């Protein structure tokens, strides 16, 4: 599945299979980057987060983690015995939020924003170091890139 197809089908309450693991989509948030482009972040069952990247036509499956990294972040960082290289940083604002029954899974509201710095290891592991603009709290995520052919809705 590619990113445009994913975006046309994703909604809260449905089943998503990523890399052979089944999840329920609890919340779908559409974020708008400062440059006007979009990305979709889905909060899933079992505490996972699934996001798309339309520029690279890839998907990320991550879970919140704690790190000790401080700004300014280096171009290469080591985490979980892996070397991660800096990819990009961005700022985005929550434009639309769709929650399944039971309310918000993320605690986010329309207009909330975040800044993040993303890193990738050679094995496809992914690390995103984020900061909520409203609270200043860190929200770091660790996981992997999931091949497009391993995504099903």
How confident is the prediction along the chain (153 residues), in pLDDT tens digits per residue?
A: 999 999 999 999 999 999 999 999 999 999 999 999 999 999 999 999 999 998 889 999 999 999 999 999 999 999 999 999 999 999 999 999 998 776 666 778 899 999 999 999 999 999 999 999 999 999 999 999 999 999 999
The model carries a pTM of 0.92
The whole domain housing 97 covers: 3-152
Count of structural domains, the chain: 1
Q: CA 55, CA 52: separation in Å to the nearest integer?
A: 9
Tokens at 46, concatenated = 């079992």
pLDDT at residue 56, as a whole number: 87
pLDDT at residue 101, as a whole number: 72
Spatial neighbors of 10 by CB under 8 A, at least 6 apart, are 16, 25, 28, 40, 42, 153
DSSP per residue over the chain, as a string?
--HHHHHHH--TTSEEEETTEEEEEEEEEEEEETTS-EEEEEEEGGGEEEEEETTTTEEEEEEEE-----SSPPSEEEETTEEEEEEEEEEEEEEEEEE-TTS-SS---TT-EEEEEEEEETTSEEEEEEEETTT--B-EEEEEEE-GGGEE-
């Amino acid at each position: 599945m590619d990113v445009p197809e994913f975006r046309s089908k994703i909604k809260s309450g449905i089943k998503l299979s990523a890399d052979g693991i089944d999840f329920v989509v609890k919340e779908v948030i559409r974020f708008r980057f400062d440059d006007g482009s979009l990305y979709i972040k889905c909060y899933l069952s079992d505490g996972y987060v699934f996001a798309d990247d339309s520029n690279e036509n890839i998907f990320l499956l991550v879970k919140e983690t704690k790190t000790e990294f401080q700004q300014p972040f280096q171009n290469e960082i080591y985490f979980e015995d892996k070397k991660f290289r800096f990819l990009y940083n961005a700022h985005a604002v929550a434009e639309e939020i769709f929650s399944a029954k039971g309310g918000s899974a993320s605690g986010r509201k329309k207009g909330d924003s975040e800044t993040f710095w993303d890193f990738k290891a050679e094995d496809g592991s992914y690390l995103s170091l984020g900061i909520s603009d409203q609270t200043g709290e860190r929200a770091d995520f660790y996981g992997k890139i999931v091949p497009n052919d391993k995504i099903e809705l």
